[in-house]
Structure 1
Amino acid sequence: MSKKPKQIKFKLEGFNNLTKTLSFNIYDICYAKTEQQAYIEYIDDAYRAERLTEILSNVAEIIGANILNIARQDYEPQGASVTMLISEESLAFERLSNAQAPGPLPDAIVAHLDKSHLTVHTYPESHPDNGISTFRADIDVSTCGRISPLKALNYLIHSFDSDIVIMDYRVRGFTRDKTGRKHYIDHKINSIQNYLAKDTKARYQMIDVNVYQEKIFHTKMMLKAFDLDNYLFELQVSDLSSLKRDKIEKRLRREMMEIFYAQNIPNF
Protein backbone atom coordinates (compact mmCIF):
# COMPACT_ATOMS: atom_id res chain seq x y z
CA MET A 1 0.00 0.00 0.00
CA SER A 2 1.42 3.38 -1.02
CA LYS A 3 1.82 5.98 1.69
CA LYS A 4 0.02 9.28 1.46
CA PRO A 5 2.37 12.23 0.93
CA LYS A 6 2.99 14.17 4.12
CA GLN A 7 1.72 17.73 4.26
CA ILE A 8 3.69 20.60 5.74
CA LYS A 9 2.21 21.49 9.13
CA PHE A 10 3.16 24.45 11.31
CA LYS A 11 1.41 26.83 13.68
CA LEU A 12 0.93 30.27 12.16
CA GLU A 13 1.29 33.67 13.71
CA GLY A 14 -1.85 35.32 12.33
CA PHE A 15 -3.31 34.85 8.84
CA ASN A 16 -1.82 32.67 6.09
CA ASN A 17 -0.61 35.36 3.67
CA LEU A 18 0.55 33.03 0.90
CA THR A 19 -0.98 33.75 -2.50
CA LYS A 20 -1.38 30.72 -4.77
CA THR A 21 -2.21 31.37 -8.40
CA LEU A 22 -3.08 28.84 -11.08
CA SER A 23 -3.23 30.30 -14.59
CA PHE A 24 -3.86 28.29 -17.68
CA ASN A 25 -4.97 28.41 -21.28
CA ILE A 26 -7.18 25.77 -22.85
CA TYR A 27 -7.29 25.48 -26.64
CA ASP A 28 -9.83 23.73 -28.87
CA ILE A 29 -8.77 23.44 -32.53
CA CYS A 30 -11.18 22.97 -35.45
CA TYR A 31 -11.20 22.97 -39.26
CA ALA A 32 -14.15 24.81 -40.78
CA LYS A 33 -13.10 25.99 -44.23
CA THR A 34 -16.46 27.30 -45.45
CA GLU A 35 -18.31 27.41 -42.11
CA GLN A 36 -15.92 29.39 -39.95
CA GLN A 37 -18.50 31.93 -38.82
CA ALA A 38 -20.93 29.14 -38.00
CA TYR A 39 -18.26 27.43 -35.88
CA ILE A 40 -17.44 30.67 -34.06
CA GLU A 41 -21.13 31.19 -33.29
CA TYR A 42 -21.47 27.57 -32.16
CA ILE A 43 -18.49 27.58 -29.78
CA ASP A 44 -19.34 31.05 -28.50
CA ASP A 45 -22.85 29.91 -27.64
CA ALA A 46 -21.55 26.72 -26.00
CA TYR A 47 -19.39 28.76 -23.61
CA ARG A 48 -21.56 31.73 -22.82
CA ALA A 49 -21.15 33.61 -19.55
CA GLU A 50 -23.97 31.61 -17.95
CA ARG A 51 -22.18 28.28 -18.48
CA LEU A 52 -18.81 29.74 -17.47
CA THR A 53 -20.40 30.97 -14.24
CA GLU A 54 -21.61 27.44 -13.49
CA ILE A 55 -18.11 26.05 -14.12
CA LEU A 56 -16.45 28.59 -11.82
CA SER A 57 -19.10 28.06 -9.15
CA ASN A 58 -18.20 24.37 -9.14
CA VAL A 59 -14.50 25.27 -8.91
CA ALA A 60 -15.25 27.39 -5.82
CA GLU A 61 -17.00 24.40 -4.23
CA ILE A 62 -14.13 22.03 -5.07
CA ILE A 63 -11.48 24.25 -3.45
CA GLY A 64 -13.68 25.03 -0.45
CA ALA A 65 -14.47 28.70 -1.09
CA ASN A 66 -17.45 30.98 -0.55
CA ILE A 67 -18.53 33.13 -3.50
CA LEU A 68 -18.89 36.75 -2.42
CA ASN A 69 -19.58 38.44 -5.74
CA ILE A 70 -20.05 37.53 -9.41
CA ALA A 71 -19.65 39.71 -12.51
CA ARG A 72 -20.20 38.31 -15.98
CA GLN A 73 -20.49 39.57 -19.53
CA ASP A 74 -21.12 38.20 -23.03
CA TYR A 75 -19.42 40.27 -25.73
CA GLU A 76 -20.27 41.19 -29.30
CA PRO A 77 -19.42 39.77 -31.75
CA GLN A 78 -18.06 36.93 -29.57
CA GLY A 79 -16.34 36.09 -26.33
CA ALA A 80 -17.35 36.13 -22.67
CA SER A 81 -15.87 36.93 -19.27
CA VAL A 82 -16.71 35.91 -15.71
CA THR A 83 -15.05 37.10 -12.47
CA MET A 84 -15.71 35.89 -8.92
CA LEU A 85 -14.49 37.10 -5.56
CA ILE A 86 -14.21 34.26 -3.07
CA SER A 87 -13.32 33.58 0.57
CA GLU A 88 -12.39 30.47 2.50
CA GLU A 89 -15.30 28.56 4.00
CA SER A 90 -15.10 28.84 7.78
CA LEU A 91 -15.94 25.14 8.22
CA ALA A 92 -13.96 23.80 5.29
CA PHE A 93 -10.51 23.42 6.84
CA GLU A 94 -10.92 19.79 7.89
CA ARG A 95 -11.68 18.65 4.36
CA LEU A 96 -9.23 20.92 2.52
CA SER A 97 -6.04 19.28 1.26
CA ASN A 98 -3.10 20.49 -0.81
CA ALA A 99 -1.55 17.03 -1.06
CA GLN A 100 -0.13 16.01 -4.44
CA ALA A 101 -3.12 13.99 -5.58
CA PRO A 102 -5.76 14.54 -8.27
CA GLY A 103 -8.89 16.51 -7.50
CA PRO A 104 -12.42 15.44 -8.50
CA LEU A 105 -13.71 15.08 -12.04
CA PRO A 106 -16.98 16.64 -13.24
CA ASP A 107 -20.15 14.56 -12.87
CA ALA A 108 -21.19 13.95 -16.39
CA ILE A 109 -17.75 33.86 -14.61
CA VAL A 110 -16.30 36.27 -12.76
CA ALA A 111 -16.68 35.63 -9.06
CA HIS A 112 -14.98 37.42 -6.16
CA LEU A 113 -13.35 35.83 -3.13
CA ASP A 114 -12.15 37.60 0.00
CA LYS A 115 -8.62 38.49 -1.19
CA SER A 116 -9.05 35.76 -3.81
CA HIS A 117 -10.70 35.49 -7.20
CA LEU A 118 -11.65 33.27 -10.12
CA THR A 119 -11.71 34.58 -13.68
CA VAL A 120 -12.31 33.17 -17.14
CA HIS A 121 -12.17 34.87 -20.53
CA THR A 122 -12.87 33.24 -23.91
CA TYR A 123 -11.37 34.09 -27.30
CA PRO A 124 -12.86 32.40 -30.40
CA GLU A 125 -10.86 33.22 -33.53
CA SER A 126 -10.26 31.92 -37.06
CA HIS A 127 -8.03 32.34 -40.10
CA PRO A 128 -9.90 33.16 -43.32
CA ASP A 129 -7.43 31.39 -45.64
CA ASN A 130 -6.47 28.06 -44.10
CA GLY A 131 -9.80 27.19 -42.48
CA ILE A 132 -8.39 26.77 -38.98
CA SER A 133 -10.45 28.07 -36.06
CA THR A 134 -9.16 28.16 -32.48
CA PHE A 135 -11.15 28.61 -29.30
CA ARG A 136 -9.10 29.72 -26.29
CA ALA A 137 -10.19 29.99 -22.68
CA ASP A 138 -7.94 31.82 -20.20
CA ILE A 139 -8.60 30.84 -16.59
CA ASP A 140 -7.08 32.23 -13.40
CA VAL A 141 -7.70 30.86 -9.93
CA SER A 142 -5.98 32.98 -7.30
CA THR A 143 -6.34 32.18 -3.60
CA CYS A 144 -4.97 33.71 -0.43
CA GLY A 145 -4.75 31.50 2.64
CA ARG A 146 -4.89 27.76 3.02
CA ILE A 147 -7.06 26.89 0.03
CA SER A 148 -5.26 25.93 -3.18
CA PRO A 149 -6.55 25.98 -6.76
CA LEU A 150 -4.75 22.79 -7.77
CA LYS A 151 -7.59 20.48 -6.74
CA ALA A 152 -9.77 22.05 -9.44
CA LEU A 153 -7.46 21.06 -12.32
CA ASN A 154 -9.16 17.81 -13.34
CA TYR A 155 -12.59 19.37 -13.29
CA LEU A 156 -11.51 22.36 -15.40
CA ILE A 157 -9.68 20.29 -18.01
CA HIS A 158 -12.70 18.00 -18.43
CA SER A 159 -15.12 20.96 -18.57
CA PHE A 160 -13.71 22.06 -21.93
CA ASP A 161 -12.78 20.31 -25.18
CA SER A 162 -9.07 20.56 -24.48
CA ASP A 163 -6.66 19.78 -27.31
CA ILE A 164 -3.90 21.80 -25.66
CA VAL A 165 -3.58 22.93 -22.04
CA ILE A 166 -0.85 25.27 -20.80
CA MET A 167 -0.67 25.75 -17.03
CA ASP A 168 1.34 27.87 -14.60
CA TYR A 169 1.22 27.62 -10.81
CA ARG A 170 3.02 30.05 -8.54
CA VAL A 171 3.13 30.65 -4.80
CA ARG A 172 3.92 34.25 -3.76
CA GLY A 173 4.68 35.96 -0.47
CA PHE A 174 5.30 34.30 2.88
CA THR A 175 3.57 33.47 6.13
CA ARG A 176 5.11 33.33 9.62
CA ASP A 177 4.90 30.55 12.16
CA LYS A 178 4.78 31.08 15.92
CA THR A 179 8.58 31.28 16.15
CA GLY A 180 8.70 34.07 13.55
CA ARG A 181 10.22 31.85 10.86
CA LYS A 182 9.01 32.68 7.33
CA HIS A 183 7.44 29.96 5.19
CA TYR A 184 7.30 30.57 1.44
CA ILE A 185 5.10 27.58 0.64
CA ASP A 186 2.75 25.50 2.82
CA HIS A 187 2.51 22.29 0.81
CA LYS A 188 4.81 19.92 -1.06
CA ILE A 189 4.77 20.05 -4.86
CA ASN A 190 7.14 18.56 -7.43
CA SER A 191 4.97 18.99 -10.51
CA ILE A 192 1.51 20.12 -11.55
CA GLN A 193 1.21 16.67 -13.14
CA ASN A 194 0.86 15.13 -9.67
CA TYR A 195 -2.57 16.77 -9.40
CA LEU A 196 -3.87 15.19 -12.62
CA ALA A 197 -5.82 11.95 -12.82
CA LYS A 198 -4.11 8.96 -14.45
CA ASP A 199 -6.51 8.86 -17.39
CA THR A 200 -5.82 12.56 -18.04
CA LYS A 201 -2.06 12.04 -18.05
CA ALA A 202 -2.43 9.02 -20.33
CA ARG A 203 -4.27 11.09 -22.95
CA TYR A 204 -1.73 13.90 -23.21
CA GLN A 205 1.88 14.46 -24.16
CA MET A 206 3.29 16.63 -21.35
CA ILE A 207 6.34 18.79 -20.69
CA ASP A 208 7.37 20.38 -17.38
CA VAL A 209 9.50 23.49 -16.84
CA ASN A 210 9.81 24.14 -13.09
CA VAL A 211 11.80 26.70 -11.10
CA TYR A 212 11.58 25.17 -7.63
CA GLN A 213 13.51 27.82 -5.74
CA GLU A 214 11.14 30.49 -7.09
CA LYS A 215 8.01 28.38 -6.42
CA ILE A 216 7.12 28.46 -10.14
CA PHE A 217 5.68 25.35 -11.82
CA HIS A 218 4.83 25.07 -15.52
CA THR A 219 3.21 22.20 -17.41
CA LYS A 220 1.92 22.06 -20.96
CA MET A 221 -0.13 19.27 -22.49
CA MET A 222 -1.08 18.25 -26.03
CA LEU A 223 -3.61 15.53 -26.86
CA LYS A 224 -1.89 12.36 -28.13
CA ALA A 225 -4.72 10.81 -30.14
CA PHE A 226 -5.61 12.43 -33.44
CA ASP A 227 -8.89 11.50 -35.14
CA LEU A 228 -9.56 13.88 -38.03
CA ASP A 229 -13.33 13.48 -37.66
CA ASN A 230 -13.09 15.11 -34.23
CA TYR A 231 -11.59 18.25 -35.76
CA LEU A 232 -14.01 18.81 -38.63
CA PHE A 233 -16.99 21.15 -38.28
CA GLU A 234 -20.07 20.23 -40.37
CA LEU A 235 -17.84 18.00 -42.47
CA GLN A 236 -16.87 14.33 -42.45
CA VAL A 237 -13.66 12.59 -43.45
CA SER A 238 -15.63 10.48 -45.95
CA ASP A 239 -16.51 13.68 -47.83
CA LEU A 240 -12.85 14.42 -48.53
CA SER A 241 -10.36 13.08 -51.04
CA SER A 242 -7.21 11.50 -49.62
CA LEU A 243 -5.17 14.50 -50.80
CA LYS A 244 -7.55 16.93 -49.08
CA ARG A 245 -7.50 14.88 -45.88
CA ASP A 246 -3.70 14.97 -45.79
CA LYS A 247 -3.62 18.75 -46.30
CA ILE A 248 -6.18 19.41 -43.56
CA GLU A 249 -4.48 17.06 -41.13
CA LYS A 250 -1.12 18.77 -41.71
CA ARG A 251 -2.69 22.19 -41.10
CA LEU A 252 -4.31 21.03 -37.88
CA ARG A 253 -1.18 19.32 -36.57
CA ARG A 254 0.91 22.35 -37.42
CA GLU A 255 -1.53 24.63 -35.58
CA MET A 256 -1.38 22.42 -32.49
CA MET A 257 2.42 22.19 -32.53
CA GLU A 258 2.80 25.95 -32.92
CA ILE A 259 0.60 26.59 -29.91
CA PHE A 260 2.28 23.84 -27.88
CA TYR A 261 5.82 25.01 -28.62
CA ALA A 262 4.91 28.73 -28.78
CA GLN A 263 6.64 29.33 -32.10
CA ASN A 264 5.82 29.47 -35.79
CA ILE A 265 6.73 26.32 -37.67
CA PRO A 266 7.52 26.22 -41.43
CA ASN A 267 5.20 24.24 -43.70
CA PHE A 268 5.89 20.53 -43.64
Structure 2
Amino acid sequence: MENKLTLYGFNNLTKSLSFNIYDVCYAKSEREQRDYVAYIDEQYNSERLTDILYHVTDMIGAHVLHVSKQDYDPQGASVTFLIAEETMLPAKNGETLVAHLDKSHVTVHTYPEFHPDTSIATFRVDIDVATCGEITPLSTLDFLIGSFDSDIITMDYRVRGFTRDISGKKLFMDHKITSIQDYVDEKTLERYDAIDINIYQSNLFHTKMLIKEVDLQNYLFNTDVYELHPKTRLSITNSLRKEMIEIFSGVNVY
Protein backbone atom coordinates (compact mmCIF):
# COMPACT_ATOMS: atom_id res chain seq x y z
CA MET A 1 0.00 0.00 0.00
CA GLU A 2 1.10 3.56 -0.72
CA ASN A 3 1.64 6.06 2.10
CA LYS A 4 1.96 3.47 4.84
CA LEU A 5 0.94 4.62 8.28
CA THR A 6 3.37 4.60 11.16
CA LEU A 7 1.66 2.47 13.77
CA TYR A 8 2.16 1.57 17.38
CA GLY A 9 2.53 -2.21 17.26
CA PHE A 10 0.82 -4.22 14.52
CA ASN A 11 -2.05 -3.36 12.20
CA ASN A 12 -5.06 -5.11 13.76
CA LEU A 13 -7.66 -4.15 11.14
CA THR A 14 -9.62 -7.01 9.54
CA LYS A 15 -10.71 -6.55 5.91
CA SER A 16 -13.30 -8.78 4.28
CA LEU A 17 -14.29 -8.86 0.61
CA SER A 18 -17.27 -10.93 -0.51
CA PHE A 19 -17.45 -11.31 -4.29
CA ASN A 20 -20.45 -13.04 -5.88
CA ILE A 21 -21.15 -13.56 -9.57
CA TYR A 22 -24.05 -15.04 -11.53
CA ASP A 23 -23.79 -16.42 -15.06
CA VAL A 24 -27.18 -16.99 -16.72
CA CYS A 25 -27.81 -19.28 -19.69
CA TYR A 26 -30.86 -20.27 -21.76
CA ALA A 27 -31.25 -24.02 -22.29
CA LYS A 28 -34.54 -25.07 -23.87
CA SER A 29 -34.93 -28.59 -22.56
CA GLU A 30 -34.27 -30.12 -19.18
CA ARG A 31 -31.59 -32.26 -20.85
CA GLU A 32 -29.83 -29.14 -22.18
CA GLN A 33 -29.99 -27.58 -18.74
CA ARG A 34 -28.41 -30.64 -17.15
CA ASP A 35 -25.74 -30.66 -19.87
CA TYR A 36 -25.01 -26.97 -19.25
CA VAL A 37 -24.69 -27.52 -15.51
CA ALA A 38 -22.36 -30.48 -16.13
CA TYR A 39 -20.30 -28.40 -18.58
CA ILE A 40 -19.93 -25.39 -16.26
CA ASP A 41 -19.22 -27.69 -13.33
CA GLU A 42 -16.34 -29.21 -15.26
CA GLN A 43 -15.05 -25.82 -16.41
CA TYR A 44 -14.91 -24.52 -12.84
CA ASN A 45 -13.82 -27.59 -10.94
CA SER A 46 -11.74 -27.42 -7.77
CA GLU A 47 -8.46 -27.58 -9.72
CA ARG A 48 -9.20 -24.46 -11.77
CA LEU A 49 -10.63 -22.66 -8.73
CA THR A 50 -7.43 -23.46 -6.86
CA ASP A 51 -5.39 -21.85 -9.63
CA ILE A 52 -7.57 -18.73 -9.42
CA LEU A 53 -7.11 -18.47 -5.65
CA TYR A 54 -3.35 -18.92 -5.95
CA HIS A 55 -3.33 -15.92 -8.26
CA VAL A 56 -5.50 -13.92 -5.83
CA THR A 57 -3.20 -14.61 -2.88
CA ASP A 58 -0.18 -13.67 -4.98
CA MET A 59 -1.84 -10.37 -5.97
CA ILE A 60 -2.43 -9.36 -2.34
CA GLY A 61 1.05 -10.37 -1.28
CA ALA A 62 -0.09 -13.19 0.98
CA HIS A 63 1.44 -16.61 1.49
CA VAL A 64 -0.47 -19.89 1.38
CA LEU A 65 -0.23 -21.99 4.53
CA HIS A 66 -2.79 -24.67 3.73
CA VAL A 67 -5.15 -25.63 0.87
CA SER A 68 -8.37 -27.62 1.16
CA LYS A 69 -10.41 -28.40 -1.98
CA GLN A 70 -13.40 -30.56 -2.82
CA ASP A 71 -15.62 -31.39 -5.81
CA TYR A 72 -19.20 -32.36 -4.94
CA ASP A 73 -21.73 -34.80 -6.36
CA PRO A 74 -23.91 -34.03 -8.26
CA GLN A 75 -22.25 -30.64 -8.83
CA GLY A 76 -20.36 -27.78 -7.22
CA ALA A 77 -16.89 -27.29 -5.79
CA SER A 78 -15.21 -25.57 -2.86
CA VAL A 79 -11.66 -24.42 -2.19
CA THR A 80 -10.29 -22.87 1.01
CA PHE A 81 -6.86 -21.28 1.51
CA LEU A 82 -5.38 -20.45 4.89
CA ILE A 83 -3.08 -17.51 4.18
CA ALA A 84 -0.67 -15.28 6.07
CA GLU A 85 1.47 -12.20 5.58
CA GLU A 86 5.11 -12.84 6.34
CA THR A 87 6.57 -10.25 8.69
CA MET A 88 10.21 -9.79 9.66
CA LEU A 89 10.81 -9.56 13.40
CA PRO A 90 14.10 -8.61 15.05
CA ALA A 91 15.52 -11.29 17.31
CA LYS A 92 17.60 -10.78 20.45
CA ASN A 93 20.79 -11.97 18.79
CA GLY A 94 20.52 -9.31 16.09
CA GLU A 95 19.25 -11.69 13.42
CA THR A 96 15.76 -11.61 11.96
CA LEU A 97 12.93 -14.08 12.16
CA VAL A 98 10.05 -14.64 9.73
CA ALA A 99 6.71 -14.95 11.51
CA HIS A 100 3.20 -15.48 10.24
CA LEU A 101 1.40 -12.71 12.13
CA ASP A 102 -1.72 -11.95 10.13
CA LYS A 103 -3.46 -15.24 9.46
CA SER A 104 -6.58 -15.21 7.34
CA HIS A 105 -8.32 -17.08 4.54
CA VAL A 106 -9.65 -17.12 0.98
CA THR A 107 -12.59 -19.33 -0.01
CA VAL A 108 -14.56 -20.04 -3.18
CA HIS A 109 -17.78 -22.03 -3.68
CA THR A 110 -19.75 -22.77 -6.85
CA TYR A 111 -23.48 -23.34 -7.18
CA PRO A 112 -24.60 -24.54 -10.65
CA GLU A 113 -28.37 -24.98 -10.85
CA PHE A 114 -31.31 -24.99 -13.27
CA HIS A 115 -35.08 -24.58 -13.20
CA PRO A 116 -36.99 -26.71 -15.75
CA ASP A 117 -40.03 -24.39 -15.82
CA THR A 118 -38.11 -21.29 -16.89
CA SER A 119 -35.57 -22.82 -19.33
CA ILE A 120 -32.91 -20.86 -17.43
CA ALA A 121 -29.73 -22.31 -15.96
CA THR A 122 -27.67 -20.27 -13.51
CA PHE A 123 -24.09 -20.60 -12.31
CA ARG A 124 -23.20 -18.79 -9.09
CA VAL A 125 -19.75 -18.31 -7.61
CA ASP A 126 -19.08 -16.98 -4.11
CA ILE A 127 -15.57 -15.85 -3.20
CA ASP A 128 -14.59 -14.51 0.22
CA VAL A 129 -11.22 -12.96 0.96
CA ALA A 130 -10.55 -12.12 4.61
CA THR A 131 -7.27 -10.44 5.52
CA CYS A 132 -5.66 -8.75 8.48
CA GLY A 133 -3.21 -5.89 8.68
CA GLU A 134 -2.06 -3.95 5.64
CA ILE A 135 -3.24 -6.47 3.05
CA THR A 136 -6.36 -5.32 1.20
CA PRO A 137 -8.21 -7.63 -1.22
CA LEU A 138 -9.76 -4.86 -3.33
CA SER A 139 -6.91 -4.97 -5.86
CA THR A 140 -8.07 -8.43 -6.98
CA LEU A 141 -11.49 -7.35 -8.27
CA ASP A 142 -10.58 -6.90 -11.94
CA PHE A 143 -8.88 -10.30 -12.01
CA LEU A 144 -11.87 -11.97 -10.35
CA ILE A 145 -14.37 -10.33 -12.73
CA GLY A 146 -12.26 -11.41 -15.69
CA SER A 147 -11.99 -14.99 -14.42
CA PHE A 148 -15.70 -15.65 -14.77
CA ASP A 149 -18.52 -14.87 -17.21
CA SER A 150 -20.42 -12.45 -15.01
CA ASP A 151 -23.92 -11.18 -15.79
CA ILE A 152 -24.61 -9.99 -12.25
CA ILE A 153 -21.93 -9.12 -9.70
CA THR A 154 -22.43 -8.26 -6.04
CA MET A 155 -19.54 -7.14 -3.86
CA ASP A 156 -19.32 -6.39 -0.16
CA TYR A 157 -16.29 -4.90 1.56
CA ARG A 158 -15.99 -4.34 5.30
CA VAL A 159 -13.20 -3.11 7.56
CA ARG A 160 -13.52 -4.08 11.23
CA GLY A 161 -11.60 -3.45 14.41
CA PHE A 162 -9.03 -0.73 14.98
CA THR A 163 -5.32 -0.14 15.19
CA ARG A 164 -3.30 2.73 16.71
CA ASP A 165 -0.83 5.25 15.41
CA ILE A 166 2.37 6.02 17.33
CA SER A 167 0.56 8.64 19.43
CA GLY A 168 -1.96 6.04 20.59
CA LYS A 169 -4.88 7.42 18.54
CA LYS A 170 -7.32 4.74 17.33
CA LEU A 171 -7.53 4.25 13.55
CA PHE A 172 -10.63 2.48 12.21
CA MET A 173 -9.53 2.69 8.56
CA ASP A 174 -6.03 2.72 7.08
CA HIS A 175 -6.85 3.58 3.45
CA LYS A 176 -9.17 5.91 1.57
CA ILE A 177 -12.29 4.45 -0.03
CA THR A 178 -15.57 5.99 -1.16
CA SER A 179 -16.84 3.17 -3.38
CA ILE A 180 -15.86 -0.34 -4.42
CA GLN A 181 -16.26 0.90 -7.99
CA ASP A 182 -13.08 2.93 -7.55
CA TYR A 183 -11.20 -0.39 -7.63
CA VAL A 184 -12.84 -1.70 -10.82
CA ASP A 185 -11.38 -0.87 -14.24
CA GLU A 186 -13.29 1.85 -16.12
CA LYS A 187 -13.67 -0.35 -19.21
CA THR A 188 -15.29 -3.02 -17.06
CA LEU A 189 -17.66 -0.50 -15.49
CA GLU A 190 -18.75 0.68 -18.95
CA ARG A 191 -20.26 -2.78 -19.55
CA TYR A 192 -22.41 -2.70 -16.42
CA ASP A 193 -25.09 -0.69 -14.66
CA ALA A 194 -23.79 -0.29 -11.11
CA ILE A 195 -25.23 0.99 -7.83
CA ASP A 196 -23.70 1.53 -4.40
CA ILE A 197 -25.23 1.09 -0.97
CA ASN A 198 -22.62 2.23 1.55
CA ILE A 199 -22.66 2.84 5.31
CA TYR A 200 -19.55 4.95 5.77
CA GLN A 201 -19.90 5.26 9.55
CA SER A 202 -19.57 1.47 9.84
CA ASN A 203 -16.97 1.03 7.07
CA LEU A 204 -19.47 -1.05 5.07
CA PHE A 205 -19.41 -0.86 1.27
CA HIS A 206 -21.78 -2.66 -1.11
CA THR A 207 -21.86 -2.55 -4.92
CA LYS A 208 -24.12 -4.36 -7.39
CA MET A 209 -23.46 -4.57 -11.14
CA LEU A 210 -25.78 -5.73 -13.94
CA ILE A 211 -24.59 -6.40 -17.50
CA LYS A 212 -25.97 -3.81 -19.95
CA GLU A 213 -25.98 -5.64 -23.28
CA VAL A 214 -27.40 -9.12 -23.82
CA ASP A 215 -25.85 -10.74 -26.91
CA LEU A 216 -28.20 -13.71 -27.24
CA GLN A 217 -25.64 -16.03 -28.83
CA ASN A 218 -23.56 -15.84 -25.65
CA TYR A 219 -26.50 -17.18 -23.65
CA LEU A 220 -27.52 -20.13 -25.82
CA PHE A 221 -26.19 -23.60 -25.06
CA ASN A 222 -25.62 -25.85 -28.11
CA THR A 223 -27.89 -23.63 -30.23
CA ASP A 224 -27.15 -21.14 -32.99
CA VAL A 225 -29.05 -17.88 -32.69
CA TYR A 226 -29.86 -17.87 -36.42
CA GLU A 227 -31.73 -21.16 -36.07
CA LEU A 228 -34.36 -19.33 -34.02
CA HIS A 229 -37.32 -17.31 -35.28
CA PRO A 230 -36.99 -13.55 -34.56
CA LYS A 231 -39.98 -13.67 -32.20
CA THR A 232 -38.37 -16.57 -30.37
CA ARG A 233 -35.12 -14.63 -30.05
CA LEU A 234 -36.98 -11.68 -28.55
CA SER A 235 -38.89 -13.93 -26.14
CA ILE A 236 -35.69 -15.64 -24.95
CA THR A 237 -33.87 -12.31 -24.55
CA ASN A 238 -36.78 -10.99 -22.45
CA SER A 239 -36.73 -14.12 -20.27
CA LEU A 240 -33.00 -13.78 -19.70
CA ARG A 241 -33.33 -10.10 -18.87
CA LYS A 242 -36.13 -10.76 -16.38
CA GLU A 243 -34.05 -13.42 -14.66
CA MET A 244 -31.09 -11.05 -14.41
CA ILE A 245 -33.17 -8.18 -13.07
CA GLU A 246 -34.68 -10.37 -10.33
CA ILE A 247 -31.25 -11.66 -9.26
CA PHE A 248 -29.84 -8.12 -9.36
CA SER A 249 -32.79 -6.74 -7.37
CA GLY A 250 -32.93 -9.61 -4.90
CA VAL A 251 -36.72 -9.85 -5.20
CA ASN A 252 -39.29 -11.66 -7.36
CA VAL A 253 -40.28 -8.81 -9.67
CA TYR A 254 -42.16 -10.75 -12.36
Question: TM exceeds 0.5?
Answer: yes
Residue 70 of structure 2 is aligned to residue 87 of structure 1? no
> Which residue number in structure 2 is paired with residue 163 of structure 1?
151
Q: Secondary structure at the match of 2:116?
A: coil
Q: Report matched runs for 1:182-201 at 5 Å.
A: 182-201=170-189
Q: Who is 1:20 aligned against?
A: 15
Q: 1:10 matched to which residue of 2?
A: 5
How far apart, CA to CA, are the structure 1 residues paired with 2:210 and 2:36? Answer: 22
Contact between 2:194 and 2:210, CA under 8 Å: does it hold in 1?
A: yes
Give 1:133-148 correspondences, 5 Å limit.
Answer: 133-148=121-136
Query: What aligned pairs does 1:56-71 form with structure 2 within 5 A after superposition?
Result: 56-71=53-68
1:65-88 residue CA offsets vs partner (Å, 9 max, x unmatched): 000000000000000000001111
Q: Could you report, residue by residue, the CA deviation over 1:183-225 in whole angstroms, capped at 9, with x for unpaired residues?
A: 0010000110111111111111110111111100111111111
Instruction: Assess if the C-alpha contact under 8 Å between 2:246 and 2:253 holds in 1.
Output: yes
AA aligned opposite 1:68: L
> Who is 2:94 aligned against?
none
Question: What is the match of residue 42 of structure 1?
Answer: 39
- Aligned counterpart for 1:257 among listed residues 233, 242, 245: 245
CA shift, 1:114, in A, is 4.7
Query: In structure 1, what is the Cα distance between the partners aligned to 2:141 and 2:242?
Result: 26
Report the CA distance between 1:243 and its aligned residue: 2.3
Work out whether residues 214 and 237 of structure 2, in 8 Å CA contact, stay in contact via their aligned partners in 1.
no
Q: Percent identity at matched positions?
A: 60
State how far apart, in whole Å, the 1-side matches of 2:231 and 2:150 are.
27
Q: Which runs of 5+ in 1 are unaligned?
A: 1-5, 92-112
User: Residue 156 of structure 2: SS of its match in structure 1?
Assistant: strand
1:73 to 70, 82, 91: 70
Q: In proportion to residue count, which structure has more strand? A: 2
Give the TM-score taking structure 2 as reference length: 0.91
2:108 partner letter: V
Count of residue pairs brought into register by the alignment: 240
* Residue-by-residue CA offset, 1:54-101 (whole Å, 9 max, x unaligned): 00000000000000000000000000000001111448xxxxxxxxxx
Looking at structure 2, the residues matched to 245 and 154 of structure 1 have their Cα atoms a distance apart, in angstroms, of 31
8 Å contact from structure 1 (residues 115, 143) kept in 2 = yes
Q: Is the partner of 2:190 in helix, strand or coil?
A: helix
How far does residue 235 in structure 1 lie from its aligned partner after superposition? 0.8
State yes or no: 1:236 paired with 2:224.
yes
**Considering only CA atoms, is the larger Rg found in Structure 1 or Structure 2?**
2
C-alpha separation in 2, matches of 1:242 and 1:57: 44
Q: Matches of 2:102 and 2:245 in 1, distance apart? A: 39
Q: 1:153 and 1:25 mapped to 2: Cα distance? A: 11
SS of corresponding position for 1:169: strand
CA contact (8 A) 2:85 2:103 kept: no
> Following the alignment from structure 1 to structure 2, what is the Cα–Cα distance between the partners of residues 186 and 144?
12
**TM-score, with normalisation over the residues of structure 1?**
0.87
* Superposition deviation, residue 8 in structure 1: 5.8
For residues 74-153 of structure 1, the aligned pairs below 5 Å read 74-90=71-87, 114-153=102-141
Per-residue deviation at 1:178? 1.8
Output the amino acid matched with 2:128: D
Q: Over aligned residues, Cα RMSD in angstroms?
A: 1.5
- 1:165/1:221 contact within 8 Å kept: yes
* Alpha-carbon offset, residue 49 of structure 1: 0.2
- Structure 2 regions of 5+ residues with no counterpart? 89-100
